Structures are given as C-alpha cells and as structure tokens.
Amino acid sequence: MTDLYALSEAALADALVALGQPRFRARQIRAWLYARGASSFAEMTDLPVPLRAALQEQFSLGGLAVAEEQQSRDGTVKRLYRLHDGQLIESVLMRYDDGRRTACISSQAGCAMGCVFCATGQMGFARQLTSTEIFEQAALFSRELQAVGERLSNVVFMGMGEPFANFDAVVEAIARLRGELGIGARHITVSTVGLVPKILAFAELGLQVKLAISLHAATDAERSALLPVNQRFPLTELMAACRTYADKTGRRVSFEWALIAGRNDDPATAERLAALLTGLPCHVNLIPLNPTARYGGAPTALPDAAAFVDVLTRHGIPATVRVRRGIDIDAGCGQLKSKVEARQRPPAAPAP
C-alpha cells in the first residue's frame, strides 16, 4: 500500500491517471491532506465515491504506526512510532500558554553521536529516516491539531538522531514543512552536536532556519567527555562555523546547555561560556538535565540555574532557563523507546 505522504503532486497525479482519473484530482487530494487535515478518505467529500473506495484500497494516509503514547499533565504528548521495518522513533507535541504548538521530531532511528547523557546516544545508531518519515511526524501532529481548530506553529529537529548526519533528507523535509504545512523558516529549528562541514553547508542554503548547537561545555576537555564529536570538531572550529552561519544568514545562533548539577552549572563555567560566546549574536537555552538510566548526573537546582543566567547576562549574553515539558512522562529524547524496549526484553535467565 502506497503512503500518500511519500508522493509529490506529480507522482500522485500519475497514479491517479493510471486509475482513469483526471490529474487535477491530485490537487484536491493534497488540499484535503495538508490544508484541511483529513484523516480518512471518507472525509474527501468532493471526490467521487468510487475514487474514494479505490484510494482506500491502494493508499494509506501515513506510514507511521503508533506503538505507544504518553500524555503529560502540562499537555505534552510523547509518541513512539513503529516504522515499516520495526524500528522505533519518538516525536513530541508541546503546547504552550502563548498559543505555540511545537512538534519535536526525529531524523534518525537511534544516533551514532554517543553523547553520554542522552538516552538516544546510549542506544546507538540503527538507520537514517527518509524525508517522508521525518516529515510525517510533523504532518500527523498538524492533522490532529487541525481537527480541534488549532495549527502546528513550530517544528524543532531535536528528537532522536543527529539531523546533519542525515543532511539531504532533513533539508528535503524542511522544504515540505514550509511548502505543505505552511510553517515559516523562522519557526523551524535544527539542532546539531556540531558537525562543522554540515553547518557551513547549511549556511550556504540561506534558508533562514534557526540553528541550535548542543554545546554543554566551554572547554574541549569537558566537552569531549560529554560529546565525543568534539574530538573531531573542537570548539575553535565549531565557533568559527557558528560565526560564519550568523554572518551569512543574519540570524543569531542558539546554544543548548544541559545543566548538570555539580558538573557544568557553576559561575566559573558560566564565565568561560561567556568568553567563548562574546561577539557572536546568540542565545543560550539552559535546560536542567533529563536524567537517564545510564548516566548518573542530576538536574541543576533552579537557584543555581538562575545564578548561571546572571553571569551570562552580566556579560551581555542572552540566556533563559527553558521550561521543561512533560517531566511526568518520558519526554527526554530516547527515554520512551528505552522503556518500551526494556519492557519487551525477555527476563535474564536465573543464575545457576
């Protein structure tokens, strides 16, 4: 069965011609799919009934199957999808009081970057997602929001995987988010651990998409201990690439900093971070750590986080402590998949 989300308008028109239908039906179907958020062929009431029946037999509205879902008290929805080959990926929908509806989507099944505090990094890499598998995560949330009179306003590539390690598929998905879901480039954020050549390539595209860097440390020794990729692309190279991105796009760069109690949350570390970022148009998002089973760190207490912000502010570096969403569920990247896989794993044999 062919997934409609995987077809361009031209490819869908060709498929419809093969069914004896005029090509303009493709525009009608895609309007139902993207502009109206149809979740079934039965809703496409301006199509002939025999065509709706044929579509039902030969096409699906999405290729992602929900394996598990959690809902937080704050309205956050965490969803685990099963792909056609059994791989599991996560997506999150976050609702904010100011009306924003933000989808956090995955770009890979697993991740090869090995960041020590990340549940996805701890599980390793399985495969790249196709551009359709990436796009569908946002499209399905968009469809569900439309059904209740709301709209998807923002998309962040901060789910499972390193987006720039799947560069072409991510760029294609961004084009579809803009063209088919109507999400402006300035409302799309791509987060990377710092693949310098891809940051520079992304800058050349001139997309006006927000770039976010997972930083978490202000010296090479400390960062390499948390993010092994820093051994390939140390801070001098990474910061030069960020300055190039800001110069070429005219956009400030966001830096993500997981606040880990007693490790990277003291005023001296904040001073080193300020020195690293001085002169670069940027913003620092401070996120108290989401603990994982295989990393012993704990989240920074809010008074210490506020003191960290004060140091950066004194140096003219804008910084905010991000409100953590879905704390009462497995909202951290990879956490729901890890829990489900652990639950499905056969129990260990008793010791002899």
**Model pLDDT for residues 193-205, shown as the tens digit of each residue:** 999 999 999 999 9
Angle at 293 between CA 306 and CA 114, to 5 degrees: 85
Of the candidates 93, 166, 182, 100, the residue with the CA atom closest to the CA atom of residue 133: 166
Q: State the pLDDT at residue 339.
A: 54
Mean pLDDT over each residue of the chain, to the nearest integer: 92
Structure tokens at 269: 């570390």
Amino acid found at 102: T
Question: Which of 295 and 310 is assigned the larger pLDDT?
Answer: 310
Are 340 and 88 within 8 A, CB to CB? yes
- CA–CA distance, 78 with 335 (Å, rounded to integer): 10
pLDDT band per the 50, 70, 90 thresholds, residue 1 = confident
Classify strands 101-104 and 154-157 as parallel, antiparallel or unpaired: parallel
pLDDT band at 72 (very low <50, low <70, confident <90, very high): confident
Q: Is pLDDT at 94 greater than 60 in this prediction?
A: yes
Query: Which pLDDT value is given to residue 330?
Result: 58
- Strand ranges inside 238-277, DSSP E: 253-259
Question: At residue 68, does pLDDT exceed 60?
Answer: yes
- Is 333 a catalytic site residue? yes
Predicted local confidence at residue 122, as pLDDT: 86
Catalytic: which of 104, 111, 282, 333? 333
CA-based nearest residue to 108, from 347, 335, 333: 333
Task: Report pLDDT digits (tens) over 108-127.
Answer: 999 999 999 888 888 899 99
What confidence score (pLDDT) does residue 132 get? Answer: 97
Q: What is the pLDDT of residue 84?
A: 92
pLDDT tens sequence across 175-190: 999 999 999 999 999 9
Angle, helices 167-180 vs 196-205, to 10°: value is 30
Q: What is the pLDDT of residue 331?
A: 53
CB 108 within 8 A of CB 125: yes
57, 69, 90, 271: the catalytic one is 90
Model confidence band, residue 349 (pLDDT cutoffs 50, 70, 90): low
Averaged pLDDT, 253-266: 96
Look at residue 351 in the predicted model and tell me its pLDDT: 53
Which of 140, 166, 165 has its CA nearest to residue 155?
Answer: 140
Q: Which residues contact 23 (CB under 8 A, 6 or more apart)?
A: 13, 16, 17
User: Which pLDDT does position 75 carry in this prediction?
Assistant: 87
Three-class secondary structure of residue 79 per DSSP: strand
Q: Which residues pair with 189 in a beta bridge?
A: 156, 210
Domains, the chain, in order of start with CATH, read 2-60 (1.10.150.530), 65-343 (3.20.20.70)
Helix axes 235-249, 196-205, angle to 10 degrees: 0
What angle do helix axes 167-180 and 131-146 make, rounded to 10 degrees? 30
Percentage above 90 pLDDT, the chain: 84
Q: How far is CA 201 from CA 184, 197, 205, in A?
A: 20, 6, 7
- Which residues have a Cβ under 8 Å from the Cβ of 276 and sit 6 or more positions away? 218, 235, 239
- In this predicted structure, the answer to whether residue 328 has a pLDDT above a threshold of 60 is no
Instruction: Check residue 262 and give left, alpha or beta (phi > 0: left; psi -120 to 50: alpha).
Output: left
Taking the whole predicted model, whether its pTM rises above 0.85 is answered as: yes
Q: What confidence tens digit (pLDDT) does each residue in 211-242 have?
A: 999 999 999 999 999 999 999 999 999 999 99
